Amino acid sequence: MFTGLVEEIGVVAELNPHDETGGTSLTITLPASSKLLEDAQLGDSISINGVCLTATSIVHTPVPSFKVGIAPETLRLTNLGSLAKDSRVNLERAVRADTRMGGHFVQGHVDTTAEIVGVAQDGNALTFRFAPKSLDVLKYVVYKGYVALDGTSLTITKVNDAEGWFEVMLIAYTQEKVVVAQKKPGDTVNVEVDVLAKYAEKSMAGYLSAQSEILVKPILEEMVENLVAQAMGGHS
């Protein structure tokens, strides 16, 4: 579990599609002054551009770095496969019990990717417009709700279901702390919608289904009784 508050920006040292395990691995280097890996252990979860991945190797000197494995399903659902050497990525360690929840509940389970279709200056802020690859996620995207883009917790400022896009605004401070601010139209981001919206949808679906049974059952019983009565009357 993560908060969507980026702790560090790392740099891709290598994306190896044929590593020693036969799979794909990603190696990230950090600034020499970084404290991200100080208490990190093998097997820890680290969010890379919003994707929860497991640290399989950790190096502290001379330059802090770590390696993760990327499953084929992750490559299909995210934009991690498009990373190249020197690409910058958002990083966040998994939350602890005493962590302040400054963003929102982010699982690191990406739902889809979205293409940047517009960037507009608004004072010293930037408004980004995104068109998700899977339009199904838009039912969870609401005005003033949360969304995680490349692992960054952001507030939705506008959404258009008919045209298939939503917008967020990055203030000047955020622009300096996350990789999304440096992206351009045509680039993609990983999208994770608010998981609480999914739980609410499932709970409501169960409630409505139960209510439907309560309301419909007496009507069906009455219809059956009427049909039986008509049939009995026809044979008398």
The verdict on whether omega for the bond into residue 218 sits within 30 degrees of 0, i.e. cis, is no
Catalytic residue among 29, 54, 56, 127: 54
- CA angle at residue 102 from 101 to 106, to 5 degrees? 65
Assign 104 to helix, strand or coil.
coil
Contact 52, 107 (CB under 8 A): yes
- One of 3, 24, 25, 52 is an active-site residue; which one? 52
Q: Which of 82, 99, 155, 209 is catalytic?
A: 155
For the chain, give the number of residues: 236
Query: How is residue 94 annotated by DSSP?
Result: P
Question: 72 vs 23, 24, 69, 78, CA distance in Å?
Answer: 8, 8, 10, 10
155 is catalytic: yes
Q: Which of 57, 60, 82, 109 is catalytic?
A: 109
First to last CA, the chain: 70
Whether 78 sits among the annotated catalytic residues: the reply is no
Whether 109 is a known active-site residue: answer yes
Active site residue 45: yes
Q: Tokens 């059956």, residue?
A: 224
In whole angstroms, give the CA distance from residue 158 to residue 34. 35
Q: Which candidate in 21, 60, 71, 205 is catalytic?
A: 71
Query: What's the rounded Cα separation, in Å, for the pair 177 and 7?
Result: 8
Q: How far apart are CA 130 and CA 79, in angstroms?
A: 14
34 is catalytic: no
Write down the catalytic residue from 13, 29, 34, 45: 45
91 to 30, 111, 144, 160: CA distances (angstroms):
10, 18, 24, 30
Indicate which residues carry an active-site annotation.
2, 45, 52, 54, 71, 109, 155
